[in-house]
Amino acid sequence: MSFDSRDEPPPDTPPAELPPPDASVEPPASVSWAGRAVALLEVLLCSDFPTQLALGSTLAVLGYRPLDLNGELSVGFVAVFSLLDTALLIALMLFFLRAHGERPADVFLGRQPVLPEASVGVPLIFVALGLGVALLLTLRWLAPSLHTVEHNPLEDLIHRPRDAWLFALVVVVAGGVREELQRAFLLRRFEQWLGGARVGVVVASLAFGAGHLLQGADAAVATGVLGAFWGVVYLRRRSVVAPMISHSGFNLAQIAQILLVPK
């Protein structure tokens, strides 16, 4: 995906406004610091932490609690929270894109047809699975101290088939869909305004891995590398479809493992 112009914004453009940038190169050195500040603010707001904090506080005020009567994390609460956060985050990204005259279809889908891109994503499921397994085995061999969590806490959310189906919906919508749309948005902002695509891949992957520390330090490292893998796929293809399919399939495979492998 590419745009035709790299010209600076006209003099009457407000300093804090982000003009539609070129999609394949970094901005010229003369880009205003105000524009970079706006991009940084959008990255922070769409990092998931502000939306989750706001949503968690709102649900708490309304009387919704994450723990059930047995004191365990409720899969129903996790599902509602994750799906609401997905809707809120996507709405926020769409607002920012449209506010700057950027077409969401260009950012998220590029010019590639959806079905061929989906077919590309299917074999990438197995690439992601192989990469994840290889990373975990290597880390547990070279750095066993990183295996800080013996029992995956996500397993405690699945007690019956209904829980598995509900959690499958969560990992596809809030995982594969939301996180890949979010990754594309963040990479676009970094690529054009905050140091380039490579910086964006590193920063987004570190944040992605840190968000999985609950599953252990080794899982966080492996997840961060997988995030970089999906980020590179997006940058090469300029479409979220293939990484979205790969990410969703990877998450579903994890649920299948929880159900099929005895605890």
Phi, psi of 220 (to 5 degrees): -65, -40
- Could you tell me which residues come within 8 angstroms of residue 92 by beta carbon, excluding any fewer than 6 positions away? 45, 46, 51
Residue 1 · residue 238 · CB < 8 Å? yes
In this prediction, residue 9 carries a pLDDT of 45
Give the chain's domain count: 1
The answer to whether residue 26 sits within a structural domain is no
The answer to whether residue 9 sits within a structural domain is no
In this prediction, residue 71 carries a pLDDT of 65
Q: Spell out the per-residue pLDDT of the chain, length 263, in tens.
A: 433 444 444 444 443 444 444 444 444 445 678 889 999 999 999 998 899 899 988 988 888 877 766 667 777 888 889 999 999 999 999 999 999 999 999 999 998 899 999 999 999 999 999 999 999 999 999 988 888 887 777 777 777 778 788 889 999 999 999 999 999 999 999 998 898 999 999 999 999 988 888 888 888 999 999 999 999 999 999 999 999 999 999 999 988 888 777 56
Domain that holds residue 59: 33-260
The answer to whether residue 21 sits within a structural domain is no
Determine the Cα–Cα distance for residues 194 and 93; give it in Å rounded to an integer: 17
Phi, psi of 230 (to 5 degrees): -65, -35
The answer to whether residue 27 sits within a structural domain is no
Quick one: which of 82, 94, 113, 249 has its CA closest to 184? 94
Number of helices and strands (H, E) in the chain? 10, 0
Q: Quote the DSSP letter at residue 183.
A: H
Six token digits for residue 59: 């649900």
Determine the Cα–Cα distance for residues 199 and 215; give it in Å rounded to an integer: 25
Compute CA distances 63 → 57, 59, 71, whole Å.
Answer: 10, 6, 16
The distance in angstroms from the start CA to the end CA of the chain is 46
Residue 218 · residue 148 · CB < 8 Å? yes
The answer to whether residue 83 sits within a structural domain is yes
In this prediction, residue 21 carries a pLDDT of 44
Place of tokens 């966080």: 220
In this prediction, residue 167 carries a pLDDT of 87
pTM over 0.75: yes
Percent helix, percent strand, percent coil in the chain, to nearest 5: 70, 0, 30
The answer to whether residue 93 sits within a structural domain is yes
The answer to whether residue 11 sits within a structural domain is no
The answer to whether residue 16 sits within a structural domain is no
